Amino acid sequence: NMLGFSRRSYSGYIPVKPEELIERSLELAINDYELKKRLDLKTVTVHRRYDPEVPATPVNRNQIEQVLLNIFKNAAQAMTATAAQRPPELWIETSREKDEAVIVIRDNGPGMAEDVRERIFEPFFTTKEVGQGTGLGLSVSYYIVVTMHKGSIRADSIPGEGASFTIRLPIFRQGNAQGPPAGQDEA
């Protein structure tokens, strides 16, 4: 759960294959009791396409797993809205583009309107009902990817066709590969 992630001690930046992070986060999402009440991820068809050429990437494993878990949970919650019309599906792929490891996660939920997509990473912004979400998951994810890992995260969507999230993480780190990026303190 999110609280558990926040309480874990700093584990440093270590090289990890992106698919290891993805599979661990997906396993956490599948076993999330609160999420199972809405949509059991075991019922979702998951299409994986992992590029074996993507090297292990130096990351804070706990932080990136938190980011991926947020995206998987949001996708599952979104797909509950369209599960009656079409079977829920996730597409997950990794690739390498220059000096970045790229992770793309796409769902076939209802998608987002442009005004929602533009605000999706703002703190406290949520489309969920009162009491159902804090609006912090994706803003924290943005901070982890952009500030702590010097990467990027982008949301794309066509209303009615689902949403996709693209995470780009640098494969090489400047300075100490075992610590946070230069100028960053532990989170």
Tens of pLDDT, residue by residue over 120-175, are 888 777 766 655 565 678 989 999 999 999 999 999 998 999 999 999 999 986 55
Domains of the chain: 2-170 (3.30.565.10)
Query: 9 exposed, middle or buried (CB, 10 Å; 0-12, 13-18, 19+)?
Result: exposed
Tens of pLDDT, residue by residue over 94-118, are 999 999 999 999 999 999 988 888 8
d(CA 88, CA 80): 8
* Nearest Cα to Cα of residue 77 among 39, 29, 48, 122: 39
Using a cut of 0.85, tell me whether the model's pTM lies above it: no
